[in-house]
Amino acid sequence: MPECNNCGGFVTERYVRVFAPNELETVRVCPNCEDKLRDGAEIREARSKRS
């Protein structure tokens, strides 16, 4: 099963197909990550806590 590279959380294969770069089989960050987030094609540190 795929998992988030950042937090180790479960992600679906469908989520990976949509949000992972073509060369990766897992995502770099998921919606459950509080310290990082996607910014276009890049990953950046979160500026504030997510609620």
**Model confidence at 51: pLDDT above 80:** no
For 10: left if phi > 0, alpha if psi spans -120 to 50, otherwise beta; the answer is beta
Q: What is the pLDDT of residue 46?
A: 80
In angstroms, rounded to a whole number, what is the distance separating the alpha carbons of residues 34 and 18?
20
CA within 13 Å, CB half, 26:
14
Residue 50 corresponds to which tokens in the numbers above?
């997510």
Determine if the pTM surpasses 0.75.
Answer: no
In angstroms, rounded to a whole number, what is the distance separating the alpha carbons of residues 31 and 38?
9
Kindly report, residue by residue over 6-45, the tens digit of the pLDDT.
999 999 999 999 988 888 889 988 888 888 877 777 878 8
CB atoms inside a 10 Å sphere around CB 29: 21
